[in-house]
Amino acid sequence: MKTPAVLVRYLPQFHQIPENDRWWGKGFTEWTAVKGGGKLFEGHNQPRIPLDENYYNLLDRETMDWQAKLAKKYHIGGFCFYHYWFKDGKKILEKPAENLLIWKDIDMPFCFTWANDTWARTWSKISQKNTWADTFEKNVDNKSNYSSGILLEQKYGDKKNWIDHFYYLLPFFKDKRYIKKDNKPILILYKPAFIYCLSDMMTCWNELIRKEGFDGIYLIGEIWEPYISADNLDAVLIRFPDAAFENISSSTKKNGLKVYQYNDCWKFILNKNHFLNNKKTYLCGMVDYDTTPRRGCKGIVLANSNVKDFGKFFDVFVKKNIDYGNDYVFLNAWNEWGEGMYLEPDTNNKYGYLEVIKKIIDKYNDMPDLKYMEKGANHCFSNEKEKIYRDLYISKKNSYILNQWLILKEEKKSIAKYLLQRKYYNIAIYGSGIMGNHLIQELSETPVNIKYIVDRSSEVLNVAYPIYSLQYELPRVDIIIVTINGQYDSIKREIEKYVSFPTISLEEIIFES
């Protein structure tokens, strides 16, 4: 096989936008946070300063042309742009990628990572959120405009919303520089487990893209916990250093700052097989990591990073990806300056990291007939461990869903209203466990008519409704609500063997309500 192409994460927040002006102060960009970095302990590599103080603007054509030429010179195979698409099609930080469509002569291979997080302030009660700049909140007195703490809400909507999103992405997919695998544009999902409508959305998108001459979308889902369902994914991407922080120890500095050792993190990446879910498994290494410019003393730091050690580890990392049969090596990152993950030259290391990458890729390019291991023989977990991790993941996901359900109640919103607005008057509930029983209680005194329960066991106790299994011919209903978390896709396929009624997950109802 050929040497894997190096794909690097790319942050498009190096230009001014009205939203950042409003949230964090006039003129805020990622450079604002970077310039505010300071030493929090002896030997702390802060502030980070770009070589020749090149605090560029990504809306300048010359900047992107410079980045493309620099990447090509040092054997960077492509950029993974973060893509932001929120509720009702709200976009943000989209202009650099849109400009690239116009600037056809800039030789910058690219693909998208959909960063599907809600953006919220640190004081928000919303879980699973992303906060950009904790240390800048005190500078802006506009909390009253965002009483919930939500800045941009991540919701996925219905089929019309999915189609709108697809046709926004299509010109990028068709661009000859967009990275494709097996005639499929690559799309990376930052948090695939939280896209509750992923199965239906991808069915829709794949139908549309095949009409455009492609064979589908090559979907890669990022994973940073031991077990996350890989249904609907073509491959998984284990993102480091996030996946290592759960498994290596840190020291805690004053005010809660967490410090990990650079070598410990890399050794965790390299000394373990990471095949998951019997899927093609990609690994995402890192250059460095330091979130203190954004988070201050609440940040995380990898201590003692240096070019020499990076080169040593990156060499083994490339070989590990070759062993996995991977055609891509992912790296965090090209320009995450606010988190200390960047390959662009700075005042300390100049072009050191880029020079190491070029040297190592040249080395493997000169090796004939690169071999790789068979994936199936190197599965990371035993069946017993997989079950433990799966149960742990589902438990955490249930807590996440229940938390959102409580927030709905606090805001005087109801599942019944959601169903009635969509004319789902007669429903069936699949699953009579904890979630199913909560749903029964909530709907029992509403106009929504629960016709029956579908459960594998016909001996369910304390349920005042008929119980059916899927072996029976089910009475017609407007929709079947699946309450079992983490198994919606497989349950939906099973239901479709018996009836043609529409299905929906309880999770989707809660997060779309």
Contact present, 112 and 169 (Cβ < 8 Å): yes
∠75-81-87 over CA atoms, to 5°? 170
CA distance 241 to 291: 12
pLDDT band at 128; cut points 50, 70, 90: low
- Of 346, 378, 410, the last residue of a domain is 378
pLDDT band at 487; cut points 50, 70, 90: confident
- Report which of 108, 60, 132 is spatially closest to residue 334, judged by C-alpha positions: 108
Question: How much is the pLDDT for 378?
Answer: 40
Same domain, 363 and 413: no
The single-letter DSSP state of residue 87 is G
Q: Is 310 left (phi over 0), alpha (psi -120 to 50) or beta?
A: alpha
* Average confidence (pLDDT) over 232-239: 89
* Average confidence (pLDDT) over 245-267: 87
Structure tokens at 142: 């506009």
Same domain, 266 and 412: no
Provide the residue type at 69 as one letter: K
Same domain, 349 and 368: yes
* Average confidence (pLDDT) over 201-224: 95
CA distance 370 to 361: 13
Question: How much is the pLDDT for 374?
Answer: 43
- Of 321, 353, 378, the last residue of a domain is 378
- Decide if pLDDT at 422 tops 70: yes
∠326-327-328 over CA atoms, to 5°? 90
- Report which of 20, 240, 246, 234 is spatially closest to residue 139, judged by C-alpha positions: 20
Cis, bond preceding 47 (omega within 30 deg of 0): yes
Model confidence over 83-115: pLDDT tens digits?
999 999 999 999 999 999 999 999 999 999 999
CA distance 238 to 269: 10
Beta strands per DSSP E along 217-366: 218-223, 235-239, 251-252, 258-261, 280-286, 300-303, 328-332, 335-336, 341-342
Same domain, 68 and 195: yes
Give the contacts of 339 (CB within 8 A, at least 6 positions apart). Answer: 289, 290, 291, 293, 294, 333
The enclosing H or E element of 208 equals: helix 198-210
Q: Is 43 left (phi over 0), alpha (psi -120 to 50) or beta?
A: left
Contact present, 268 and 315 (Cβ < 8 Å): no
Same domain, 347 and 476: no
Model confidence over 343-377: pLDDT tens digits?
999 999 999 999 999 999 999 988 766 555 444 33
- Decide if pLDDT at 411 tops 60: yes
Contact present, 343 and 48 (Cβ < 8 Å): no
CA distance 497 to 502: 12
Same domain, 273 and 389: no
Pairing of strands 5-10, 328-332: parallel
Please report how many Cα atoms fall inside a 13 Å half-sphere around the Cα of residue 457, on the Cβ side: 7
CA distance 190 to 303: 26
Same domain, 356 and 394: no
Query: What are the DSSP calls for 215-242, one per residue?
Result: ---EEEEEE-SS----TT-SEEEEETTH
- Of 350, 378, 406, the last residue of a domain is 378
Sheet containing 251-252: order of strands = 251-252, 258-261, 300-303
* Average confidence (pLDDT) over 193-219: 95
CA distance 297 to 37: 11
Same domain, 370 and 394: no
- Decide if pLDDT at 72 tops 70: yes
DSSP, collapsed to helix, strand or coil, labels residue 342 as strand
- The pTM assigned to this predicted structure is 0.86
Same domain, 14 and 148: yes
- Report which of 211, 240, 208 is spatially closest to residue 224, judged by C-alpha positions: 240
Same domain, 49 and 100: yes
Which residue range is the domain that position 447 belongs to?
383-512
Contact present, 199 and 162 (Cβ < 8 Å): no
* Average confidence (pLDDT) over 18-29: 91
- Residue 192, domain CATH: 3.20.20.80
Contact present, 504 and 479 (Cβ < 8 Å): yes
Query: What are the DSSP calls for 451-482, one per residue?
Result: EEEE-S-TT--S--S-EE-TTS-PPP-SEEEE
CA distance 131 to 20: 12
User: What mean pLDDT, rounded, does the chain reach?
Assistant: 87
DSSP, collapsed to helix, strand or coil, labels residue 395 as helix
> How many structural domains does the chain have?
2
Residue 130: strand pairing partners? 119
Same domain, 428 and 489: yes
Question: How much is the pLDDT for 125?
Answer: 64
* Average confidence (pLDDT) over 310-316: 95
Same domain, 309 and 249: yes
DSSP, collapsed to helix, strand or coil, labels residue 495 as helix
Residues 397-431 as b/e (b if ≥16 CB within 10 A, e otherwise) read: bbebbeebbebbeeeeebbbebbeeeebebbbbbb
Pairing of strands 258-261, 251-252: antiparallel
- Decide if pLDDT at 442 tops 80: yes
Model confidence over 258-295: pLDDT tens digits?
999 999 999 988 886 665 556 788 999 999 999 999 98
Query: With the CA atoms of 439, 445, 448 and 451 taken in that order, what torsion angle do they form, in degrees rounded to the nearest 10?
Result: 70
Question: How much is the pLDDT for 381?
Answer: 44
Question: How much is the pLDDT for 274?
Answer: 63
- Residue 421, domain CATH: 3.40.50.720
